């Protein structure tokens, strides 16, 4: 296929990981449509989440800090599509914007940096994380651990462990792999730490009215990933979960059926409720909402209060 009349503009955050993911989307589009390198331009967009690094996201506006500037660039026509780590994308999106495609999902697990396993962490080890989910899960397994707020890009968080600022941290395996850090950290089994909903998935958004972009993106959409992530998003939406909510979820599709695991925790890890549902792949969203309702019903008032569902 010939190149578009003007370069297709991909909007991305400017962090090394975000740019690596934008280049993955660029490569997929170029391969699918037979375009040369000049057919697609990467447009870095600086977000509030990138500028403010000294406080947890939940204190300064939540996941929208990663998306609002890219949303504005899409709506104002400065970019044609936007590439996101899906776990950074809030469940309620602007009406004008659609998630048009997802690349095939990568490793969903977390990796522990600083020790070979959670059991191997020293008594009272200082764990750097700004994720309520990771903090609650770790405290549920090891109440002796001390959680310290740690934000920043992958390099910043790796450096914090290297310098001894913290004893250990957790990072997404997919992000490490995309930056070439294949051998860094110890993978934590999903059965030990259920990942964040949407972890490992890259989503590509455009304006709902851009039929031309939606048609181009359809060629690189990985259907199973898209369906599984949609189920996880339905689970989060039914819970009313936000950046303050310690919640984990993972949907996996096989043989036309979807298996969805979900977990809710109190911030101190003192209480947790979890369960699994299976459903036909085309009914996974409904099953996800049912799972959310069932977990909320089983939760005590303190846990239920962390969710608005």
Distance CA 197, CA 208 (A): 24
pLDDT computed for residue 17 by the predictor:
94
235-278: pLDDT as tens digits: 999 999 887 889 999 999 999 999 999 999 999 999 999 999 99
Q: Name the architecture of domain 8-103+199-221.
A: 3-Layer(aba) Sandwich (3.40)
C-alpha closest to that of 100 among 217, 13, 230: 217
Decide which of 105 and 58 is more confident: 105
80-90: pLDDT as tens digits: 999 999 998 99
Mean pLDDT is lowest, of 66-75, 77-86, 96-105, 137-146, for 66-75
Instruction: Decide: 170 and 192 in contact? Cβ < 8 Å.
Output: no
Residues of the chain with CATH 3.40.190.10: 8-103+199-221, 110-187
pLDDT band at residue 151 under the 50/70/90 scheme: confident
> CATH assignment of 235-304, given 3.50.30.10, 3.30.160.40, 3.40.50.150, 3.30.70.370?
3.30.160.40
* Active-site annotation, residues: 88
Residues of the chain with CATH 3.30.160.40: 235-304
Tell me: domain 110-187, CATH 3.40.190.10, correct? yes
pTM: 0.92
Alpha-helical runs (H) found in the chain: 16-33, 48-51, 57-60, 64-75, 132-141, 154-163, 173-178, 211-218, 223-239, 284-298, 301-304
Please list, residue by residue across 75-93, b when 16 or more beta carbons sit within 10 angstroms of its beta carbon and e when fewer do. eeeebbbbbbbbbbbbbee
């Amino acid at each position: 296929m010939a190149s578009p009349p003007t370069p297709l503009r991909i909007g991305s955050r400017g962090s090394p990981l975000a740019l690596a993911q934008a280049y993955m989307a660029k490569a997929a589009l170029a391969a699918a449509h037979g375009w040369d390198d000049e057919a697609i331009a990467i447009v870095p967009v600086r977000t509030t989440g990138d500028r403010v690094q000294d406080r947890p996201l939940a204190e300064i506006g939540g996941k929208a800090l990663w998306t609002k500037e890219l949303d504005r660039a899409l709506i104002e026509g400065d970019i044609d599509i936007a590439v996101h780590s899906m776990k950074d994308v809030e469940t309620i999106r602007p009406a004008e914007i659609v998630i048009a495609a997802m690349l095939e999902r990568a490793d969903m697990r977390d990796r522990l940096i600083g020790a070979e396993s959670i059991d191997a962490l020293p008594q009272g080890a200082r764990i750097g994380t700004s994720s309520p989910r990771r903090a609650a899960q770790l405290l549920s397994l090891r109440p002796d651990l001390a959680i310290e707020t740690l934000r920043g890009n992958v390099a910043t968080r790796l450096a914090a462990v290297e310098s001894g600022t913290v004893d250990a941290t957790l990072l997404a395996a997919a992000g490490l792999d995309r930056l070439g850090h294949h051998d860094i950290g110890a993978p934590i089994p999903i059965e030990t730490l259920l990942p964040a909903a949407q972890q490992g998935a890259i989503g590509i958004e455009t304006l709902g009215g851009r039929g031309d972009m939606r048609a181009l993106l359809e060629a690189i959409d990985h259907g199973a990933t898209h369906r599984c992530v949609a189920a996880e998003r339905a689970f989060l939406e039914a819970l009313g979960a936000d950046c303050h909510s310690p919640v984990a979820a993972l949907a996996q599709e096989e043989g036309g059926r979807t298996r969805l695991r979900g977990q809710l925790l109190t911030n101190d890890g003192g209480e947790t409720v979890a369960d699994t549902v299976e459903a036909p792949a085309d009914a996974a969203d409904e099953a996800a909402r049912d799972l959310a309702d069932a977990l909320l019903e089983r939760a005590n008032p303190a846990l239920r209060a962390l969710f608005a569902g």
